[in-house]
Structure 1
Amino acid sequence: MALNRGTAAFVNGKVCKDPKLAKADDFYFGGLNIAGNTKNLQGSNVTTVNVDQIPGLNTLGISLVRIDYAPYGQNPPHTHPRATEILVVLEGTLYVGFVTSNTENRLFTKVLNKGDVFVFPVGLIHFQFNVGKTNAIAIAGLSSQNAGVITIANAVFGSNPPINPDVLTKAFQLDKNVVQHLQKLF
């Protein structure tokens, strides 16, 4: 929370607080022990703890998330444009992976169990999928106070206004009717 000694300054898009006005709650978040609602199409829920929840994270370059997964739920392919992510499984079994950039498109995957850790390098598309018959829980640390997230399918098929279906038909080698159907879903 970059405590400044004069006029208000913006750092990383957030106002630095006068140190005389700082309080313990600026460095606190409660409730990460509460499971998120996984009753949705993806069967997962991400509880974010970043600079928006803890103002004291401003300028510190860290944040974290709790991810809850229903059986066979997933955190779908996404990317964090401003952060590397390190994930630890607290409960359950997850199939995780990431894809390198366009030069090779190499897929790195692993099945993780309780206590296992996996790293997703900054900016790369990655995912987690609960391969177990029970709920799974993971905690992930991110190397940014606000990592950002771009969920690939949402961005491509749910853009507003929609991307011209001809572009997506050619890019994904899909039938135009399939593209239009996907755009309606998102």
Structure 2
Amino acid sequence: MTDFEFIFVFYALLLGLSMVELLSGFGRTLENEFETEAQDRAFKIGWLTPILGFFVMLDLLSFWVIAWVMRDLVAVTPAMLLGVMAFTGAYYLAARLVFPTAPERFQDLDTHFFRVRRTIMGILITLVLAQWAFILSIPRLAEAMMTPLGIGLTLLLIALMAGVMIVRNRHIQAILLVALIVRYLVLYLV
């Protein structure tokens, strides 16, 4: 077993749990939607929380991709394991917050979105900065990533996420979240 394989098992487990948390939260929300329809109660999923969930899934995939890029540069050390635990633990927390545990407590899920968006985006911005700090600590990676395109795409990502943290208008929020999703889809599919 290589050092990468040893660390990646831990990394993938925690990121996988983050993905499960997002899908479970969306499932609970849909179940609540179906139940409220059957009981003729008021509940509105809205667009913001599901769009945020989809963006967080795409963002999560980006960390899987970068792990693959770094596969030859990873060594098993206590510091590396601690870093992986902190990084993926923070990601799990962000994913956990996207959908409420009890969606039935809300009439409109956009209320939940506006309560958690700053925390989620703050965590994700911190993780991007931590990722860049790690990349810059490895000269071979730093050289590959320190391109105008790499820097520009990262600054765009951070600017859009910061916009989600700041803006209060629902329509602008939706536009920012869709722009974040489009950014990743273009990167993944082009």
| Structure with the bigger percentage of strand | 1
TM-score band by shorter chain is under 0.3
Bigger RCO (CA 8 Å, 6+ sep) = 2
TM-score normalised by structure 1 residue count = 0.23
Q: Which has the larger radius of gyration?
A: 1
TM-score normalised by structure 2 residue count = 0.23
